[in-house]
A = this chain, B = another copy of it.
Amino acid sequence: MSRQVYIGNLALGGGADVRIQSMTTTSTENVSQTLTQIMRLYEAGCELVRVAVRNESDARAIREIRAKSPLPIVADIHFSSKLAILAIESGANKIRINPGNIGGEADIRRVADCVRAHKIPVRVGSNTGSIEKSYLEQYGKSARSLVESALHNVGILEKFGVHEIVISVKASSVPLTVEAYRLLHKQTEYPLHVGVTEAGTKENGIVKSSVGIGSLLLDGIGDTLRVSLTDDPVEEVYAAERILRACDLRKNYVEVISCPTCGRCEWNSMRLAQTVEDHVFSIRKRLKVAVMGCVVNGPGEAKDCDLGIAGGKDKCVIFRKGEAERTVAAEDAEREFIKELDAMLREKGQEV
């Protein structure tokens, strides 16, 4: 198990739930726009949020953002110890830097002293665009060079007394990302921030992130994740939630099993499945429901569920807790199934 750090009040690593993070796309100094986006991310299920600090006014804006944000704030700083210190003094709950690129020893020492004084963690990491030159020359663009480069930055922090560290080693290649994290995982107890970098636009990026992040999470690697999409960051949070659910790392949600439909399917189970998924996506109660196209696989799977429906030509059968409850006409299936579902959610204390 990894060590645990705190980002504000949020525990990360050491057996805590895997945390969803995202990054704002607003200009950080525009406090109202940034806070509006943070609220949207929060409502979507984001647990910590990163903001880019490009200049002093971005760094100073963190004070007001921090004060009004429901989520802990991570400040992302490149190349400047001065901005790092200003961001911390403005209240950043965590900073993301590479000490290797923020200046000389004196600069690094000043940042490290500030980090320790404010008791915040630091994320360091490498990606294929920022591997330290010496490792790139020695190992090429490889899992080894990504890991050595990240651990080199960890070493610098440790030398200056910082031990609250989160590490990342991202590549845009999924196999390289997975190989690097597997290697890193063997060599460190610090919590890991996992993700595939520059994954691309929504459709492609979700697949790349799901394969890369999912493979790691299934093997118990990763304490916080970011799905990196060239899209609205709210989509990153939805995708992250889906990945965690797919890996059985979230329990409090309504799982909807639905079959792909085939030539056997004689009613519109596809539409009902989509309606049900949309109906329950944001509900945080544990329930498993099934929408099955036909009687071949339908009942077998639906029996396993709290609530299920299996279709026929004119009629559908609704199952509840493994027992066939009643038969409804196909045209009433949606209304009747949603009614039963809502009743079951109400039993669990959910307002619907």
Binding site for B on A (CB under 8 A): 23-28, 34, 50-52, 54, 58, 76, 78, 127-130, 141, 172-175, 178, 197-201, 203-204, 206-208, 210-212, 214-215, 217-218, 228-231, 233, 236, 238-239, 242-243, 245-248, 256-265, 269-270, 273-274, 277, 290-292, 296-297, 300-301, 304
Instruction: Determine how many copies of this chain the complex contains.
Output: 2
Contact A263 B26 (CB under 8 A): yes
Q: With a CB–CB cut-off of 8 A, which chain B residues contact A76?
A: 262
Residues of B within 8 A of A290 (CB): 198
Q: How far, in Å, is A215 (CB) from chain B's closest CB?
A: 4
Is B246 a contact partner of A277 (Cβ separation < 8 A)? Answer: no
Contact of A28 among B51, B217, B263 (CB under 8 A): B263
Contact B273 A230 (CB under 8 A): yes
Contact of A257 among B78, B172, B238, B292 (CB under 8 A): B172
**8 Å CB contact of A246 from B28, B208, B291:** B208
Listed A/B pairs (23) with beta-carbon separation below 8 Å: A25-B261, A25-B262, A28-B263, A51-B263, A52-B262, A127-B297, A128-B301, A129-B300, A174-B214, A174-B247, A174-B248, A175-B248, A198-B292, A198-B297, A200-B257, A203-B277, A206-B206, A206-B210, A207-B243, A215-B218, A228-B259, A231-B260, A231-B270
Q: Verify A247–B26 contact, CB threshold 8 A.
A: no
Complex Cα gap A270–B259 (Å): 34
Taking a contact as CB atoms under 8 Å apart, the answer to whether B204 and A207 are in contact is no
Q: Smallest CB–CB gap between A23 and chain B, Å?
A: 5
Nearest-CB distance from A116 to chain B (Å)? 27
For A200, the closest partner residue in chain B by CB is B258
CA distance A23 to B264 in the complex (A): 11
Say yes or no: B247 contacts A230, CB within 8 Å. Answer: no
CA distance A173 to B246 in the complex (A): 7
Min C-beta distance of A257 to chain B, whole Å: 5
